Chains A and B, each alone.
Chain A
Amino acid sequence: MLDNLVKQPMLWTSALTKQVNTGDKQLTILQHIDLQVNAGEAVAIIGASGSGKSTLLGLLAGLDLPTSGKVHLDNIDIFTLDEDSRAALRGKVLGFVFQSFQLLPALTALENVMLPLELTAVSNAEATACRLLDRVGLAMRLHHYPKQLSGGEQQRVAIARAFATNPKLLLADEPTGNLDSATGVQIIELMFELNREHGTTLVLVTHDEALSQRCSRQIRLADGKLVQ
């Protein structure tokens, strides 16, 4: 099998646990998650709503702190880093696509795509951003604000932004969740295309079985635990 070829683990976790205090009692959202994602893989995390998918994705990206356990990203134990170094690592290694797009309303489409490039001080930020927006079919909408774009268009901008820094790993959290099904299909196609073109490792969170089948592997989550 192709999967058995020698591949670096892009990402692995050990005993990742997240608990939160909700007033009187402690709630365990994730419990002892051990998983591994190899470079070049496309992995789907599936599970019912509330099963802890978004929480897991957030921890993989170091956007939140776990109660215990480790996340190794590109061979770095990310929770030994401070918040700023984690941010820098994200800027270098990760791309994000969120369910609710998360574009900055103050910035135009072009500026939104340029943002991660400028943060890492890439020299030809504008050219790269233009090229990517062209690639996602928004060449005519460079100077429009998110408010002036439809949901599908906003998600395209978000995808362009995610690929702008040429990340090793793309994390997508229900990228079609806020879109109608026709648009959703287009967006998924676009994402997989770009993923192939850039040779990016993909972790896709979804509750859509059909969609998960397009990935090379599925990880199932129920009540904060992995189900094999």
Chain B
Amino acid sequence: MLRRDWRAGELNVLALALVIAISGMTTVGFFADRVEMALSRESNQLLGADLLVISSHPVPEQYAHEAARLGLSVSTVTKFPSMISSGEDNLLAEIKAVTEGYPLRGRVDLAGKPSQAHELQSETQALSRIPQPGTIWVDEKLLTRLDLKPGDQVDVGAMQLTVTELIMREPDHSVGFINMGPRVMINAIDLPETGLIQQGSRISYNLMIAGDVNQVQQFRDWAEPQLSKAERIEGIRDARPEIRAALERAEKFLSLAALASVVLAAAAIALAVRRFTQRHLDGCAVMRSLGASQQQLFYLYLYYFIALGLIASCTGCLIGFASQEILAHWLTGLVETALPWPSWLPAIQGMLVGLVLLLGFALPPILNLRSVPALRVLRRDIGLSNAHSLTGYLLGLTALSLLFIWKAEDLKLGLYIVAGFISAIAIFGCLGWLLIKGLAGLRHQAGGAWRYGLASIHRRAVSSVLQAVSLGLGLMALLVLTLIQDDLIEDWHASLPPDAPNHFLVNIQSDQLDALEEFFQQHAMEQPPLFPMVRGRLIKINGKPVSAEDYADDPHAARHIRREFNLSWADQLALDNQVVQGNWWDERTTESVISFEKGIAKTLGLKLGDELTYDIGGSHFSAKISNLREVNWDNFRVNFFVVAPPGLLENYPVSYITSFYVPPSGSAMIHALVREFPNILVVDVAVVINQVQQMIQQVSRAIEFVFLFTLLAGFAVLYAAIAATQDERIHEAAIFRALGAKREQLSRAWAAEFAILGGLSGLFAAAGASVLGYVIGHHVLHLDYTFNAWIWLIGFVAGMIGVLVAGLLGTRSALSTPPLLTLRKIG
């Protein structure tokens, strides 16, 4: 039967809608997947690896074994501070001993050598990029301070090494605040001979791990429970909250786009299935009257749809895969990252969505088809009861909702969208029904073409509402993406403008404040805001002593207990902070209170009203949590986990911290600053910022591409909507023409109908997009959502013109079929 229908052209619409919908969806899915992986990998360059196992003693063998077993690349890095001497001069430097393979991600740039071209940046190439045994690579600080030149000898512990290269940039340079001093790199083979590895030395042993995302995750899952107190695991997201925030938003947006394409696919399939079942009513009636049992009919159609679903989904997935590959090639021409190979998940999801949607929307009507009265052979207008199609759509919707929540990989996002779309369907449906009924009253006033357009819409009220709702949903999904995309990109650019702070000054003493102000004046720079900072260890919660052991099952939390907190004070809430629970203080606040960052409060299991006690340089400070704050971490401004009101912390040992922008040409000023204030630590995060900015640029572009592709899925909906009424139109055209209508008269009547339908869907879409865009922007992506009035005009015009053009194109063939052919077929 499948083949028979195919030959008869019966299947075209349904199959095409399925194929377009699924290929649109998988294209977006595949592509989003690749972009996501590329982003993670890109950001991992800042770590030099995908994952680090950091330990204060040599990393136990088992970790490297397990990594090797999982097929991951490994490399070790041993870091410690030590004196480096050259003749009379010596200097404390950070020594990094590396093994072959370092760095697993990113690259080391050396002076006088062009940075390794990307094509060469394969894993094997990286092997040769570490110092030879007996040599040392140094950075500019060390080179200038010790007045060295390549070929000179320096003493590192008991060993003499030859300076061979000047390091311009290391991938894992700016992670964390530890690496401030001059840095050098040696080959790990030389380590024993230096004699610097001794009991009690402050050494950080790092095992670098990189490889396939899933394997890395598997490794992490395996390793985390094994970690001893002295060991921890860090990925880029643990190391840099800014990057974590940027990545998470990008990922959410990409999955949003993928979800939008699912909505579009669903709408297209729902429409196409409806047309299909209507067309098959006749065949069913005949088969019933010829004695086919209900069960026979049911299985006939069940197998039919499963076969159709499989074939169409496979085709769709293949097309989706091919087109995302083209897209990826096109995109890599524009950005620098080579996109990694996508996972198979989008294909599996594509297949499932295709099958689930097809069966979800088609099964209930099939259940109906079998109970088609055989009487339909005699009277064609005996159709399906609408109650049955309603169950059909409900089942389809339920299937869709479940798929959605799964695909969203984020319960909150999934639920928001499902709730949004379901209420949109309900509201659009009711409004559409009322509007269509209302408009029908107008048709006696309307003349000519409008009268026939209105009459058609009214007569097909159920179909028309369905079309308006489907088109409206499709357009709404596109408009939401447009809105969010703009806001997201704008927000990123706003939070990381070209002059975002890229240097931090840490450890500024109270008595240096005046001198520092003067320094900034001398260098014609604005004095950046200074933040007071007190360092303390959390020792008691509600009077009960705490230790890292209490958080044995959460290494992240345990680390916070072991480390010192930075406490600050302020009378005003910082710009990009937001109190989410409790109240910020005012002048009348006299108790000892603090404000806690929401995320870390959750990690440590703290809530409003808990009393915390800190050990600050031997004396104790206690305060109650009076509010929880949400902090925007992706903008590199100075922010604190713990803030107190003024007057509580001033008597403890205070230092200050600040951040400001230094243009690339400003290195002289930084050198001067280091010379004048030797105790102040200068942390240069320019590299990280550049990296993040570059990442944002790429994501923005990728997002635009993904968006263009969701448009494709939108066309599937349009096509299915137009095709859904094709049969009726061909018949209508034949009668009109037999009665002497010119083609133009007929197309004007249709144009009126399409314009009304399109305008209606456009308005629905605009209304829905405004609400859903706000909800998602505000609650899921945490954007400053800007209401966009244009969306109404865009929705209305896009809906009207889109449906009009597609409708007229789609009905062209209906106009040119000889009327006799149609009248005979129907008669």
Contacts and interface: CB of A to CB of B under 8 A. Distances in A.
Contacts of B827: 98-100, 102
B818 A64 contact: yes
B456 interface: yes
Given A84-B742, A118-B448, A120-B740, A54 B381 contact: no
A189 interface: no
Contacts of A41: none
B58 to A, nearest CB: 82
Contacts of A58: 820, 823-824
Interface residues of A, number: 36
A63 B819 contact: yes
B737 interface: yes
A61 B744 contact: no
Contact of B740 (A65, A91, A105): A91
Given A65-B818, A98-B827, A106 B458 contact: yes
B743 interface: yes
A161 B736 CA distance: 12
Interface in B742-782: 742-745
B818 A105 contact: no
A84 B744 contact: yes
A119 B735 contact: no
A87 B742 contact: yes
A120 B743 CA distance: 13
Contacts of B459: 105-107, 145
A61 B819 CA distance: 10
Interface in B687-733: 728, 732
A83 interface: yes
Given A102-B823, A102-B827, A106-B460, A90 B738 contact: yes
Given A64-B820, A84-B744, A96 B460 contact: no
A63 B818 contact: yes
A90 B728 CA distance: 22
Contacts of A47: none
B821 interface: yes
Given A58-B820, A64-B818, A64-B821, A102 B735 contact: yes
A88 B823 contact: no
Contacts of B821: 64
Contacts of A83: 737, 743
Contacts of B824: 54, 58
A91 B736 CA distance: 10
A58 to B, nearest CB: 4
B711 to A, nearest CB: 32
A224 interface: no
Interface in A102-117: 102-107, 111, 115-116
Q: For the complex, would chain B's binding face be called helix, strand, loop or mixed by DSSP majority?
A: helix
Given A63-B820, A63-B823, A64-B818, A90 B743 contact: no
Interface string B455-481: 110111000000000000000000000
B740 A92 contact: yes
B738 A88 contact: no
Given A63-B818, A64-B820, A104 B742 contact: no
A105 B826 CA distance: 13
B434 interface: no
A91 B826 contact: no
A15 B736 CA distance: 29
Contacts of A98: 823, 827
B697 to A, nearest CB: 53
A102 B733 CA distance: 11
Contacts of B455: 106-107, 111
Nearest to A178: B827
A105 B171 CA distance: 72
A94 interface: yes
Given A84-B743, A111-B455, A147-B381, A102 B820 contact: no
B92 interface: no
Nearest to B744: A84
Interface string A24-67: 00000000000000000000000000000011001001011100
A116 to B, nearest CB: 4
B826 A100 contact: yes
B465 to A, nearest CB: 15
A19 to B, nearest CB: 14
Contacts of A91: 739-741
B729 to A, nearest CB: 11
- Most chain A CB within 10 A, of B381, B459, B735, is at B735
A161 B741 CA distance: 14
A199 B558 CA distance: 103
A94 B739 CA distance: 8
Select the residue from B458, B818, B821 with max chain A CB neighbours within 10 A.
B818
Contacts of B745: 119
Nearest to A63: B820
Interface string B403-431: 00000000000000000000000000000
Contacts of A119: 736, 739-742, 745
Interface of B: 381, 448, 451-452, 455-456, 458-460, 728, 732, 734-745, 818-821, 823-824, 826-827
**Nearest 10 pairs of A and B residues by beta carbon:** A91-B740, A106-B459, A58-B820, A64-B820, A63-B820, A100-B827, A90-B740, A116-B739, A63-B819, A84-B742
Given A102-B826, A104-B732, 7 more contacts: A54-B820, A61-B738, A64-B819, A87-B743, A94-B740, A103-B735, A111-B455
21 contacts: A63-B737, A63-B818, A64-B821, A65-B818, A83-B743, A84-B744, A94-B740, A99-B827, A100-B827, A102-B826, A102-B827, A104-B732, A104-B735, A105-B381, A106-B452, A106-B456, A106-B459, A106-B460, A107-B455, A116-B739, A120-B740
